[in-house]
Amino acid sequence: MFGKKVSKYTYGMQISDSAVKLVEIMNQSGQVTVTQRHSIALDKGSIKHGKFMDEESVVRRMETIVKQLGLQGARVNVTVPMSNVVLRKSVFSSLKDKELRNLIDVELHGGQQLPFKNPIFDFVRLGPPKDAAAAAVEEDGKGKKAKPSAQEEVLIFATPSEVVENYASVVKQTGLIPISVDLAPLALHRILVRHAKQTGSAMKDRFMLLHVEPDCADVSIFVDGIPVFLRSIQINTSYFMDTGTDPIAAYGRNLSMELGRVLNYFRYSVSTDQEDVQLIYLVGDHDWIQAMPAHLEGAFSGEIAAFPLAGVLQSDDSSDHSYAVPLGLAMKGA
């Protein structure tokens, strides 16, 4: 019985400090139907800043729901925390994928570029370096100009292997089978690509995904479909709670200040042409993403929009927004 279900359904799981979100989808004719979704609250402090502090507690909570749903043996795509991910740009000679991967592996394991050892990585080719046209052309032994060696810029995503192994181990202990580990921004981007195809709309050249959670916000900026900036912002609103202040308003004020700093840093230190972000997509619980634009207008004067799930999902349920990340994970390969 379950063997038939595996071929028909796909699964995505997002593990955060406060909850585990699990989604089951069925993909038919390009549109996605959410057949199950569950949020599992975790004991406070069992995960802190993406690190397991009480692994047994997390496994116990997850295992209970997996058994209740009869999902033992289901193949699931899982996130790792963005706070553990490092982006690096490097220039390499143009090589085939396998040779380039080996070269990147040697460079990263040299320990010069990363704040951790034993990285697991992936990469995206960005094309010729921006200053390639200005590269000097050497002369050969006969005094003729020789062609410069072809080079290309590469964006590298790296995370500690122990983090990936730890998350995979926890998922395995619950009875599920982790088949891939992905980043939340890439899962969300997968939905945007599907949305553009389904609706015939064009994606902006540069946009931000702003994923709001109760005590943090994950920022990712894409330029021409490539994530060029990632940052996880911790937001402490606990001192506002004691005064009876609206938690969303308190969160919004804190986030607005941090967002202003991020946008300035991106424009003057990351963007190659000092162009601003054109659009911010808000991801998170429906109530939060409805209220947040009013609090962010002081930091960003451009368009702020809710993440576009309409056109991708067959249903139009506003509560699906809080499951956007595991939805994007479940769509991997679907």
Per-residue pLDDT reduced to its tens digit, 146-173: 455 689 999 999 999 999 999 999 999 9
Same domain, 178 and 54: yes
Same domain, 129 and 217: no
Same domain, 66 and 90: no
In a domain, 331, yes or no: no
The answer to whether the CB of 134 falls within 8 A of the CB of 160 is no
Same domain, 94 and 77: no
pLDDT at 282: 95
Burial class (CB in 10 A: 0-12, 13-18, 19+), 8: exposed
Same domain, 140 and 214: no
Same domain, 204 and 314: yes
Residue-wise pLDDT for 179-222, tens only, equals: 999 999 999 999 999 999 988 889 999 999 999 988 889 999 99
Q: Which carries the bigger pLDDT value, residue 247 or residue 259?
A: 259
pLDDT at 178 over 90: yes
Q: Which two tokens stand for residue 31?
A: 């549109």
Same domain, 30 and 42: yes
Residue 307 identity (one-letter amino acid): F
CATH code of 210's domain: 3.30.420.40
Helix (H) or strand (E) holding 191: helix 184-199
Same domain, 297 and 204: yes
The answer to whether the CB of 182 falls within 8 A of the CB of 159 is no
In a domain, 132, yes or no: yes
- Residue-number span of the structural domain to which 169 is assigned: 2-82+165-183
Total of domains in the chain? 3
Same domain, 215 and 176: no
In a domain, 289, yes or no: yes
For 10, other C-beta atoms within 10 Å of its C-beta total 23
Same domain, 29 and 138: no
Same domain, 216 and 121: no
